[in-house]
Structure 1
Amino acid sequence: MIAMGRLCDLDGDDTWRLAILDCIIPCFRSLSTRIARDFQVEREEIRSAMVATVLEVWEDTAVGVSPRHVRDRMVKAAFEVAFRLGNATSSEHSMDDIEILIQSQVPAQDSPLRASSIIDANNIRDADVVEQLRGERLGALFQVHGHFDALQSFHDELRDGRRSGSVSQAVRASGLSRSRISDPNLYYYASDLYPPFIGLREAAGVMGIAESAAHRLIRAGQFPFPAARAGRSYKISVRALMHFENIPDGIVHVDDIENGALHASGGR
Structure 2
Amino acid sequence: MSDVFDRIEWKAREILGGGPVCVHVGDVKECDIKRHPTYSKFRDEAISAGVRSAASSRLWESMIAIGRLSDLDGDDTWRLVILDCIVPCFRSLSTKISRDFQVEREEIRSAMAVTALEVWKDTAQGVPPRHVRDRMVKASFEVAFRYGNATFGQYPMDDVELLIQSEIPAQDSVLKASSIIDVNSIRDADVAEQLRGERIGALFQRLGHFDAVRGFHDDLRAGRRSGSVRQVMTTSRLLRSRISGPNLYYYASDLYPPYIGLREAASVMGIAESAAHRLIRAGQFPFPAARAGRSYKISVKALMYFKEIPDVIVHVDDVENGALHASGGR
TM-score range, shorter chain: 0.5 to 0.7
260, 265, 268: which one aligns with 2:327 = 265
In the alignment, which residue of structure 2 is the partner of 1:68?
none
Q: Does 1:226 align with 2:288?
A: yes
Write the letter of the residue equivalent to 2:168.
Answer: Q
State how far apart, in whole Å, the 1-side matches of 2:157 and 2:251 are.
21
221, 232, 247: which one aligns with 1:159 = 221
Q: Which aligned pairs between 1:174-185 and structure 2 lie closer than 5 A?
A: 175-185=237-247
Report if aligned partners of 2:157, 2:309 keep a CA contact under 8 Å in 1: no
Report if aligned partners of 1:171, 1:179 keep a CA contact under 8 Å in 2: no
Q: Which aligned pairs between 1:166-205 and structure 2 lie closer than 5 A?
A: 166-172=228-234, 175-205=237-267
After TM superposition, give the deviation of residue 165 of structure 1 in Å: 5.7
Q: Deviations over 1:77-132 (max 9, x none)?
A: xxxxxxxxxx9xxxxxx89335899x963694x75322323422121112222111
State how far apart, in whole Å, the 2-side matches of 1:208 and 1:221 are.
19
Q: Which aligned pairs between 1:1-268 and structure 2 lie closer than 5 A?
A: 96-98=158-160, 105=168, 108=171, 111-164=173-226, 166-172=228-234, 175-268=237-330
Q: TM-score, normalised to structure 1's length?
A: 0.59
State how far apart, in whole Å, the 2-side matches of 1:99 and 1:213 are.
23
1:177 aligned counterpart, secondary structure = coil
1:258 aligned counterpart, secondary structure = helix
Gaps of 5+ in 2: 1-99, 101-155
Gaps of 5+ in 1: 1-86, 88-93
Q: Cα 1:225–1:141, aligned 2, differ >3 Å: closer, same or farther?
A: same
Q: Cα 1:149–1:95, aligned 2, differ >3 Å: closer, same or farther?
A: closer
1:105 aligned counterpart, secondary structure = coil
State how far apart, in whole Å, the 2-side matches of 1:207 and 1:171 are.
29
State how far apart, in whole Å, the 2-side matches of 1:193 and 1:210 are.
25
Write the letter of the residue equivalent to 1:261.
Answer: A
Report if aligned partners of 2:235, 2:242 keep a CA contact under 8 Å in 1: no
State how far apart, in whole Å, the 2-side matches of 1:236 and 1:99 are.
18
In the alignment, which residue of structure 1 is the partner of 2:145?
none
State how far apart, in whole Å, the 1-side matches of 2:161 and 2:290 are.
32
Percent identical: 77
State how far apart, in whole Å, the 2-side matches of 1:167 and 1:216 are.
36
Write the letter of the residue equivalent to 1:143.
Answer: Q
Write the letter of the residue equivalent to 1:264.
Answer: A
Q: How large is the RMSD of aligned CA atoms in angstroms?
A: 2.7
Q: How many residues align?
A: 174
2:324 aligned counterpart, secondary structure = helix
After TM superposition, give the deviation of residue 173 of structure 1 in Å: 7.1
Report if aligned partners of 1:98, 1:141 keep a CA contact under 8 Å in 2: no
Q: Cα 1:191–1:174, aligned 2, differ >3 Å: closer, same or farther?
A: farther
